[in-house]
Amino acid sequence: MAVKESTTHALLPQVVAGPDLDRRAVLYSRVSTLHHGQDPEVQSREIREYCQRRGWPLVGEYVDAGISGAKERRPQLDRLIADAHKRKFEVIVVWKFDRFARSVSHLLRALENFRALGIEFVSLSEQIDTSTPTGKMIFTVLGAVAELERSLIAERVRAGLRNAKAKGRKLGRPTKRVNAAQIAALRAQGVPWRRIGTQLGISATKAYTATRGTVLKP
């Protein structure tokens, strides 16, 4: 995709020169389908206007059209991430969080990665800008909520295991019974241990030890 240069400084003489104007910006937009009136240009146009108001040169546009947000691999998003690591820009602007991330955890991982690279993130619809004190605070709160959610899930799993153990349930994978006579017959035919294991759905080691009266857990 061709890089689009901005003439913001000439168009907006009221913008005072400063460190903010040294930030190169890129936009990311996405629509799941090109039908039903969905057009990524709607998102891109608003982002361009925002960058112009901020005085940010828009040095790249990354647009995934007709690609579901649930997909882990998105060509333009992958390219954006790669260019971020090459320090090709300082700000990423999106129209809405859900256009960029699959989930809150995905968003947080991306924001942490961008922060480590010195890249700010702006979402127009949510009015979030990680370069501002408010944006940094919201990012911290989101991170804390995600950490709490992970802790609660882990605790529920541990509580379930403790409850099962208290009721006398045996935890872990059940021991798979094997027929030592069948294994011995196969070996007598010259079948290798690995093939015997594959045929019976067990490991070659378990097949070997089973013929010696030992049953190992898988």
For residue 189, the domain's CATH number is 1.10.10
Residue 118 falls inside a structural domain: yes
Structurally, the chain folds into a number of domains equal to 2
For residue 40, the SS3 value is helix
Catalytic residue among 6, 32, 131, 203: 32
In a domain, 157, yes or no: no
Say yes or no: 114 and 25 in one domain.
Answer: yes
Backbone angles phi and psi of 67, in degrees to 5 = -125, 125
Regarding whether 86 and 46 lie in a shared domain, the answer is yes
Read off the pTM.
Answer: 0.57
Q: Which residues pair with 91 in a beta bridge?
A: 25, 120
Q: Which of these, 212, 209, 188, lies nearest to 197 by C-alpha position?
A: 209
* Ordered per-residue pLDDT tens for the chain, 218 residues: 444 433 333 333 333 344 555 789 999 999 887 666 678 898 999 999 999 999 999 999 999 988 776 666 789 999 999 999 999 999 999 999 888 887 777 888 888 889 889 999 999 988 888 888 887 787 777 777 767 777 777 788 888 777 777 777 776 666 667 778 888 888 888 888 888 888 777 787 877 777 775 444 44
What type of residue sits at position 7? Answer: T
Residues 138 and 176 in one domain: no
| 38, 111: one domain | yes
- Asked if 131 is an active-site residue, the reply is no
Stated as kind and residue range, the H or E segment containing 58 is: strand 58-65
| Residue 164 located in a structural domain | no
